[in-house]
Structure 1
Amino acid sequence: MKRRNYSAHTVKNYLNRLKLFLGWLPVPVEAATSAYVKQYLDHLLEKHLAPKTINEYLLVIRSFYRYLNEEEGRDVESPTTRKMSLRMAKPLPRNVRQSELDLFFSVITNKRDRAMFMLMLRCGLRVEEVANLELGDIDYHCSQIMVRSGKGGKDRTTYFSTEAGSALAAYLHIRPRTKNTRIFLAEKGTFRGKPLSVRGIQKRMEHYSRQSRTSITCHRLRHTMATQLLNGGADIVTIQELLGHSEIELTMRYSRLSNLKTQHDYYRVMERLETQNDDTLAAEVPPIRN
């Protein structure tokens, strides 16, 4: 996985899921059959895991057996099949209403935390991208951020608004001087001064969501940025580049969510049609004679 340039976060998740499967498997790896994998999927369903999560476990198992064949030269048949994947719903991305955003940010007084979540909302950064952000990635002169090794190991450039730039500058002004180049650092405990982890950022998000009585998550802030851009008239390809989507189909989901743009297009066309109908009707009705 490292040779294929997977992120450390992805490698950790794969290994954890593989460890859970191998710990459950009651027979040697070579003796595993599709029946055992199906039993394991049932075991995960009983734990009320989401279909998307269960399919990710299945992908790990499939990848492991492919590794045994291609890397280790073991003649072991994979016990997984394509038909095992759970059917998944295709829900729309969930954005956040402005009233919820106002409540959420009203309870955040910590400058570090405000800067982190403002980067997600205004720049569309993923939580892993915020955690990995370094001082040299920020270009204040051009108001842009170089996102290095994003999802899929791809670099991209995104931009920050005045609001996000001000929040980031306010934190950098009080950030402790250290040789560590990561921007966001832990402020308390034994890890003080060390880079803040992905889970550490998520815990801060959960804390403020409870405090503000909202259901905001890190990824919902990213969804909100995309939806607001689309409602504001931004091109779908521009949004794809800013979010770092590899496929345009992923970005197109927001066009189904963007009610303001849909409303605008609907009423614009309807107004034109109804005006044309009124003119036609007026021309067809004969004048009334006394």
Structure 2
Amino acid sequence: MDAATLQTQSEHFLGELTRSTHTVRAYRADLLHLTAWLQEQQQDLDGEHLGQYFAAHSHWAPATRSRKQTTFERFCRWALQRDLLNRDPTLHLERQRLPPPHPRGLRRADIERIFAVIPQEQARDALLFRLVFETGLRIGEALNIHVEDLDLTKGDEHLTVLGKGDRRRTVLLDDPKLVNTLRRHLRALGYTHGLLFQATKNGRGGPLRYQSVQSRWQRYTARAGVACTLHQLRHSHATELVNGGVSLATIRKRLGHQHIQSTLRYAEVSDATADAEVRQWRRRK
């Protein structure tokens, strides 16, 4: 495909996209940049010249290269389906390996703003989300907790969690407010076996579905004006532990990570925490 055809067909491709305006704008910029380079080099769009294009821009960050490569791959698949290309020139491009994003936790004050808008009559929701935040459980783990998994012996309150890979772990319940709420919830349930969190539909209890929980959480965050995903409650708990000086080995056990590399993603502590730790070390000298 020559550069002039690429330019024309790019607009047809973009016109058929059902993606957001931002994505279409990014795709257009990527395709226009490639078209201009091919015209300047007097080259066609093929595997060899696409490789030369990326080699000529080796200074690009991995994320930039990855985004452009995705644009070209999707355009080329579209062109192949319409017999505009004989072969896919992106097949031999080396895919960039991007590091996983650093987990982003929220400040406790922001999360408490979300909790504050949960109506009192939605006590189950408030308890579920508080439990995830104060223990770092995955939402799926929390939804699968059974009443018999709880041990609220005074002074040794904990729960047993079935995590990824069917691995069980014990999670300390060290927040007094959470423990008291759990005790009230258990008294209200009136049973000693079965799921801790149940749906109440048509007067019948049943498993609480993730989709329902997700929908409710989104409504609460919108009402509070705070952008926060359910999984960020887990990240926020881990960040609090790191900033509080809890060891990565302990955090790994509490979160149920199989590999320490997963826990190391939380190791970026705040400047204030780092400064306090250095001052404490200096005073001990």
Q: TM-score, normalised by structure 1?
A: 0.59
Count of matched residue pairs: 197
Select the residue among 228, 231, 240 that pairs with 2:243: 231
Q: Which runs of 5+ in 1 are unaligned?
A: 1-40, 47-80, 274-290
Q: Which residue of 1 aligns with 2:105?
A: 95
Q: By how many angstroms is 1:267 displaced?
A: 4.7
- Residue type matched to 1:153 in 2? D
Please give the per-residue CA displacement for 1:8-54, whole angstroms capped at 9, x wherever unaligned. Answer: xxxxxxxxxxxxxxxxxxxxxxxxxxxxxxxxx969x86xxxxxxxx
The answer to whether the 8 A contact 1:104-1:214 is kept is yes
> Could you list the per-position Cα deviations for residues 177-212 of structure 1 after superposition, in whole angstroms to 9, with x for gaps in the alignment?
5x971110112358x411101222222211211111
Identify the range of structure 1 (88-97 vs 152-161) with the bigger mean alpha-carbon deviation: 88-97
Equivalent position to 1:261, from 273, 276, 284: 273
Corresponding residue of 1:220: 232
Unpaired segments ≥5 residues, structure 2 = 1-68, 75-90
**Aligned: 1:183 with 2:196:** yes
RMSD: 3.2
TM-score (norm 2): 0.60
Give distance in 2, aligned partners of 1:119 and 1:223: 13
Secondary structure of the residue that 2:194 maps to in structure 1? coil
Q: Tell me what 2:80 maps to.
A: none
> Are 1:111 and 1:170, in contact at CA under 8 Å, matched by a contact in 2?
no
Q: Is the 8 A contact 1:230 1:258 kept in 2?
A: no
How many Å separate the matches in 1 of 2:269 and 2:177? 25
Say whether residues 1:147 and 2:161 are aligned partners.
yes
Task: Indicate yes or no: 2:116 matched with 1:106.
Answer: yes
Structure 1 residue 97, shift from structure 2 partner: 1.1
Q: Percent identity?
A: 30
Distance 1:210 1:189, change over 3 A: farther
| Distance across 2 between alignment mates of 1:175 and 1:132 | 16
Counterpart amino acid of residue 185 in structure 2: Y
- The one-letter amino acid paired with 1:166 is N
Question: How far apart are the structure 1 equivalents of 2:226 and 2:110?
Answer: 6
Contact 2:130–2:178 under 8 Å retained in 1: yes
